[in-house]
Amino acid sequence: MRKENLVKIYFIGAGAGDPDLLTVKALKIIKKADVIIYAGSLVNGKIIDKYAQADAKIYNSAKMNLDQVCQLYLKHRKKEGIVARIHTGDTSLYSAIQEQMRWCDMQGIEYAVIPGVSSFCAASAALKQELTLPGLSQTVIITRISGKTKVPAREDLKHLANIKAVMIIFLSIGHIDRVVKKLMAEYKSKTPVAVVYKASWPDEIIIKGTLDTIADKVKKQKIGRQALIIIGEALNKKKFKLSKLYDKNFSTMFRRGEIKK
């Protein structure tokens, strides 16, 4: 187990965009960081403006490659203080931190990971939507369409769609026609779909439709990036069954259910 005072780099999930969605732990580290490296193309700059120390060294990694980012780690590894490496959303999804952590392991640099609020969580909140509704879906698939980063053939959207679970599709809004075509092979054309652009940001946009209408609606709004596609019958909120958790006839280890007469 790593000792806190040995940690040099903190990989931080900054959340979906709203600075108020930072975790308390992330906020504490950002406030005391001596060096901040952040993905300026996606991370809300207000986080840096509002919480970084006045004398902190700030680097925008939007135009850097992996080697250049790692050189910054080398540059600051022997100095006092800590480095806050800030990524958007949650670090476990499409954050490209594993390659950075592997580099740190090779260099013997201690690090820790602070999770964040993923954009799919913020999008669900914006939709006022629970994704796992009894009788409709108890499975959520998080994926993307194949593009510059290839998706393994076994994870092609058409194959995943066969399950007909709730699907959250990242990094694919620019390929909305391809997405719809692949999903149409398995989902019904009237399956509800929601697209959330920049979830939790001031300019957030929500587009609702069905599988056969969503592409045209997205194009009409001219949305080509920073949007999630969510599809599944769970979006049809009128048809779900009540949960067992609060069923008065259902017993739990904390509550005895009423006896049916």
Q: Is the pLDDT of residue 249 over 70?
A: no
Q: Which CATH number fits domain 120-235: 3.40.50.1370, 3.30.43.10, 3.40.50.300, 3.30.950.10?
A: 3.30.950.10
- Tell whether pTM > 0.95: no
Say if 4-117 and 120-235 have the same CATH topology. no
What is the pLDDT confidence band of residue 3, given thresholds at 50, 70 and 90?
very low
Query: Is domain 4-117 in CATH 3.40.50.1220, yes or no?
Result: no
Amino acid at position 24, single letter: V
Residues 237 and 192: their CA atoms lie apart, in Å, by 10
Quick: pLDDT tens for 30-48.
999 999 999 999 999 999 9
Give the pLDDT mean for 56-62: 96
What is the secondary structure of 46-104 as a DSSP string? HHHHHHS-TT-EEEEGGG--HHHHHHHHHHHTTSSS-EEEEESB-TTSS---HHHHHHH
Please, how many CA atoms are within 13 Å of residue 82, restricted to the half-sphere of its CB?
A: 24
Burial (CB < 10 A; 0-12, 13-18, 19+), residue 246, is exposed
| 1 Cβ contact partners less than 8 Å away, ≥ 6 residues apart | none
Q: Structural domain boundaries of the chain?
A: 4-117, 120-235
The residue behind tokens 């840096």 is 48
Single out the residue of 45, 49, 55, 48 nearest to residue 84, CA to CA.
48
Q: Are 104 and 113 in contact (CB under 8 A)?
A: no
pLDDT at 244: 67
Single out the residue of 140, 139, 132 nearest to residue 169, CA to CA.
140
The two three-digit tokens of residue 171, written as one number? 């990094």
Give the pLDDT mean for 155-159: 95
Single out the residue of 223, 91, 93 nearest to residue 169, CA to CA.
93
The two three-digit tokens of residue 55, written as one number? 């004398």
Give the pLDDT mean for 42-71: 96
Amino acid at position 234, single letter: A
pLDDT at 1: 37
Single out the residue of 5, 8, 4 nearest to residue 77, CA to CA.
8
pLDDT at 238: 80
Give the pLDDT mean for 121-139: 95
